[in-house]
A and B are shown apart, each in its own frame.
Chain A
């Protein structure tokens, strides 16, 4: 076992926190089951891969995407590859003119068991373009969210999210996979590593399911700009959260400032971004060598081995 892939204390903690919601995951699966049997596997989406569609742009909701007008730049580009949008940025993306009419290989990803994501699919623009958007949902995605997406016309494609398959035949991942296969999807569904968040899931979907060999990251900051208000940073941008004081001894451990040599500037992490960042950098490093990850976010903390950073406009000039 490599040092990078051993379970670290933060991952153990997140596992404990997330398992408090375990009963809801099972409920979600049960409520989704008829639809999983009747609808498509996300594996079917690999048929859209071609030499002309070998690049995926992942759209996250980090602040740089708005600060750098990346969606407007993308809307005005001649990009011919895939758009892999995280659920939380779908409405903004459509508002900016990045639509399936212009980019036919348009996907939206949801991995969230919570019901709070239903509203992300409830908007006139989602209804307008929904029938041309391919949705990729996990078998434990919230049933109300999936219903809303379906109601907006989105074609649902299913996958599993891995969390306990390592526990063998008693694992929910194993049991649910057998239940799914019992009626349809005889070979099963793709199962992804989420990396803990939908942005990293989009990166996995891009190369594991859509088979793209170049994955471009937009809005994947996983860190805060230096000039972000402290309350936003210390509350992870969540209004109801409690803030932390800069003078407390633990402050610099919780909110370290790190130097991004690709951008030649600092950014600030919070504990959740420390968790997300460590995961995606590890998995980029462990991905097959023919997978190239280009970070065009122009902000944040994603840099390191096998991450090629470049301004988004330079990417478009070079690759389109």
Chain B
């Protein structure tokens, strides 16, 4: 679970310091966050403007249909 530390962030951190990262990704990136972490973040942010990605057994359909 996440810990909300708004007050600390507002007073001590305005930007992410370079030493905040020990694992900068320089090669191909693959998400490592969990579905639970993702859902919490999306719900928390309101997800305005977001939508789902369409998946199908017919892979060509995933690129859209000229007529439906």
A94 at interface by CB-CB < 8 Å: no
Residue from B20, B23, B65 in contact with A191 in the complex, judged by beta carbons closer than 8 Å = B65
CB contacts under 8 Å to A, within B9-67, are 9-10, 13-17, 20-26, 29, 31-35, 37-39, 41-59, 61-67
Residue from B38, B46, B65 in contact with A240 in the complex, judged by beta carbons closer than 8 Å = B46
Contacts known (A229-B14, A243-B9, A248-B2); A188 close to B21, Cβ less than 8 A: no
Chain A residues with CB below 8 A from B56, complex form: 162, 165-166
Residue pair A228, B15 in contact (C-beta under 8 Å): yes
CB distance from B2 to the nearest CB of A (A): 6
Interface residue tally for chain A (C-beta within 8 Å): 87
Interface residue tally for chain B (C-beta within 8 Å): 56
Residue pair A194, B51 in contact (C-beta under 8 Å): yes
Residue pair B57, A16 in contact (C-beta under 8 Å): no
CB distance from A45 to the nearest CB of B (A): 13
Residue from A16, A165, A196 in contact with B50 in the complex, judged by beta carbons closer than 8 Å = A196
Chain B residues with CB below 8 A from A116, complex form: 48
Chain A residues with CB below 8 A from B62, complex form: 5, 162, 193, 283, 286
Contacts known (A114-B48, A197-B51, A258-B25); A165 close to B68, Cβ less than 8 A: yes
CB distance from B66 to the nearest CB of A (A): 6
Chain A residues with CB below 8 A from B15, complex form: 227-230
Can you list 17 residue pairs at the A/B interface with Cβ under 8 Å? A13-B35, A13-B38, A19-B52, A162-B56, A162-B68, A190-B65, A208-B66, A231-B9, A238-B48, A246-B13, A246-B20, A252-B21, A253-B33, A255-B16, A256-B25, A271-B41, A279-B53
- Given A7-B55, A240-B46, 6 additional A-B pairs, CB 8 A: A112-B51, A190-B67, A191-B64, A246-B16, A257-B24, A259-B26
Per CB-CB distance, the 9 closest pairs between chain A and chain B, nearest first, are A162-B54, A191-B68, A236-B45, A188-B67, A166-B56, A271-B41, A259-B26, A191-B65, A9-B35
